[in-house]
Structure 1
Amino acid sequence: MRSIHVVTHPEASHHVEGLVGGWHDSHLTPAGLREAALLARALRTEIPEDAEVELISSDLLRTRRTAEEIAGVFGVEPVLDRRLREKSYGEAEGKPQAWLDKRFVAPPAAGDRMGHDEGVPGAETKAEFAGRVYAAMDEILQRPCAHQIIVTHGFALTFVVAAWIRMPIESLGYVNLRAPSGSITHLSEDDFFHNRRLDRLGDTRHLDG
């Protein structure tokens, strides 16, 4: 059985400072570092000790630091892939959230939601964002490793899961899966029917410890 654990990075500085994240290279807070250690410990209990494990992560600092914590537990080197980054918010990145809120143009209730221009120069459309995450997942899923850990961001997780279940990009206009910071989402595929399951979404029970 193929098993993929998708991790959303824990609390980062842009969360507590009220800044727009995206490609802004924020770092984990002290609380986020503690949560990263709890994440790593939880993953170690879920994945068999003798299993070969591959770790792939967004290259931004907050995800990279989370991956390093996991890597230390599993004794592997993380593979960094910039295509697993959060959505780019262009000129808004690193600015106060209120700056973006004043300029943001919400997508229409109907029509071209994937190609919608949100009114912020340099920001990715949903189609561009989904396209790069899908491209990363295409490569990840071609690898033979049965146990993979993917470290990414809250918004990007929607497209990781959608790519896993082979949802066409053109069908993503209304899809939004919610996974809190520091969560674990578990995906699996059986060896007989090759059905792909979403076993667990946005689990944070490990943070209670």
Structure 2
Amino acid sequence: MRSIHVVAHPEATHHVEKVVGGWHDSQLTPAGRAAAVRIARTLRDQIPAGADVELFSSDLLRTSQTADEVAREFGIEPILDPRLREKSYGQAEGRPQQWLDERFIPAPADGDRMGHYEGIPGSETRGECAKRVCAAMEEILARDCEYQIIVTHGFAATFVLTTWIKMPYEALGSVGFLTPSGSITTLREDDFYHNRRIVSLGDLRHLNPQAALAAGGAP
């Protein structure tokens, strides 16, 4: 049985400052750091003691800080990979969100959504982001390890998941998985049928244990 836990980093300074993230190297806020600790402890509870575990992370500060908390819990070193970064927004990064909104050209409902230029100099297309994230994910999946943890970003996480379920590149133009900041998504493949499942998507119960208890779930 292979299990993969995909973590979308928790609250970072660009969230509260209302500036564009992307490759802007924001760091976790105090609330984000506390959430990273909860994420690490939750993963420690979910993964058996003594299991073989690998940890991969985007190299941006907000993800590497999250990965550091997980690494401390498991006593392992994170492998930083810039291909797991969020989509680049070029000249918009670090600027007010309104600056981006005023210049952003949304992709058409049909046509070449993967190669669409959004109007921001230096920014990646959806396809460019997808190709690098998928390439990183293919290398991760080629490794022989029972438990793997991947710390990435909300937009990039979609391509981690599409690689997992072997969705072809041509189908990625309109797909999007909801993985909120601080969430954990659990992926699992069984050894008999080799079915790849998304066991839970964008789970936030570890950040709101009282809500989880009220819903009848584990904190």
TM-score (norm. length: structure 1): 0.99
1:206 aligned partner: 206
Count of residue correspondences: 209
1:191 aligned partner: 191
Shift of 1:50: 1.4
User: Given residue 100 of structure 2, which amino acid in structure 1 is its aligned partner?
Assistant: L
Shift of 1:208: 1.4
User: Given residue 185 of structure 2, which amino acid in structure 1 is its aligned partner?
Assistant: T
Deviations 1:121-172 (A, max 9, x none): 0110011000000100110000001100000000011000000001011101
Deviations 1:82-130 (A, max 9, x none): 0000000000000000000000001001111110000000110011000
Tell me the distance in 2 between the aligned counterparts of 1:162 and 1:109: 20
Paired residue secondary structure (1:113)? coil
Q: Which aligned pairs between 1:81-92 and structure 2 lie closer than 5 A?
A: 81-92=81-92
2:33 aligned partner: 33
Paired residue secondary structure (1:179)? coil
1:16 aligned partner: 16
Shift of 1:40: 0.4
1:72 aligned partner: 72
1:166 aligned partner: 166
Shift of 1:30: 0.2
1:135 aligned partner: 135
Deviations 1:8-29 (A, max 9, x none): 0000000000000000000000
Could you list the runs of 5+ residues in structure 1 that have no partner in the other structure? none
2:148 aligned partner: 148
Tell me the distance in 2 between the aligned counterparts of 1:111 and 1:138: 27
Paired residue secondary structure (1:192)? coil
Shift of 1:53: 0.5
Tell me the distance in 1 between the aligned counterparts of 2:117 and 2:106: 9
Shift of 1:63: 0.1
Aligned residues: CA RMSD: 0.5
Deviations 1:156-204 (A, max 9, x none): 1100000000101110111011111000000000001111000000000
User: Given residue 46 of structure 1, which amino acid in structure 2 is its aligned partner?
Assistant: Q
Could you list the runs of 5+ residues in structure 2 that have no partner in the other structure? 210-219
**Percent identity over the alignment?**
67
